[in-house]
Amino acid sequence: MIELVLATGNPHKVEELRAIFASLPDANWLRVIGLKDLPGHEKFHEPKETGTTFEQNASIKAVSYAAQTGRLCLADDSGLEIDALNKRPGVISSHYCTHGEETGLTREVRDQANNNRVLFELQGVPIMGRGARFVCVIALAEPHLPGEARLLARVRGEFEGRIGFPAHETDVPSLVVPRGSNGFGYDPLFLAGPEFVRTGAELSASEKNTVSHRANAARLLVPRLRALFTDGASLSGSGM
């Protein structure tokens, strides 16, 4: 059993990745824990995400927490890319309404403001031009020298869809958003491909764990992990 620390203090994110791995037929040898499962987690400091890509930010977090914890660490960076907006909001997806700045807004208020900005900026764009995707990059790092770590692997998963319309912009019911209560963030705006009938917030948890960007990234990660550990990569802090 390989134990991986997911670099997050959010227990829901840990449970989601556990559920994704549990749904994969070749991942039963992986065990995921969160930062809060480790003793002394109060002393960990969150690194600044200074990257301009999902790949850079995921790597920054994975390397930082592997060095701090002395354990194998996974970190992800995710967000929404919209073709008509030159792939914005991208790495500032969670704070798009404030141009990437943390201003103390609650998650609920911030999500609504982010959604409003996206819909405003897409005014006049026809449905075929509203292509979008959720992106998740997962990075794996291991402790190396004392207080240092190195990157071992990185994968990118995507979930293709389109952004729907506010009710006043279309008379096609299946394209009207926001819809659904199962998601958060941009899920109520995102018409999930390839059917483009239901939003991300209308998918059940089990469906999301099969088709989401995070699920697709995890699916790509498992064979990379198996190859690394079978080939004798360092397993310092693995929990084996």
Q: What is the pLDDT of residue 240?
A: 34
Query: What integer pLDDT is reported at residue 232 of this predicted model?
Result: 52
Return the pLDDT at 38: 95
Tell me the C-alpha to C-alpha distance, in Å, between residue 66 and each of 51, 115, 152, 214. 18, 34, 11, 20
Confidence at residue 238, expressed as pLDDT on a 0 to 100 scale = 44
The catalytic residue among 77, 111, 171, 187 is 77
pLDDT tens digits, residue range 85-107? 999 999 999 999 999 998 999 98
Mean pLDDT of the chain: 92
| CA-CA-CA-CA torsion sign (5, 11, 16, 19) | positive
Distance between alpha carbon 188 and the CA centroid of its chain, in Å?
16
231 is catalytic: no
pLDDT tens string 195-227: 999 999 999 999 999 999 999 999 999 999 999
Q: Hey, where are the domains in the chain? A: 2-230
Look at residue 187 and tell me whether its pLDDT is greater than 90.
Answer: yes
How many Cα atoms occupy the beta-carbon half-sphere of 229 within 13 Å? 22
Structure tokens at 129: 């031009």
pLDDT higher than threshold 80 for residue 236: no
Residue 16 has pLDDT above 80, yes or no: yes
The pLDDT tens digits for 33-91 are 999 999 999 999 999 999 999 999 999 999 999 999 999 999 999 999 999 999 999 99
Average pLDDT over residues 113-137: 97
Proportion of the chain above pLDDT 70, given as a percent: 96
Query: Would you call 165 exposed, middle or buried from its count of C-beta atoms within 10 A (0-12, 13-18, 19+)?
Result: buried
Please check the confidence at residue 142 and state whether its pLDDT lies above 70. Answer: yes
Question: What is the fold of 2-230?
Answer: Maf protein (3.90.950)
The set of long-range contacts for 195-198, using a CB threshold of 8 Å and a minimum separation of 24, is 196/161, 196/162
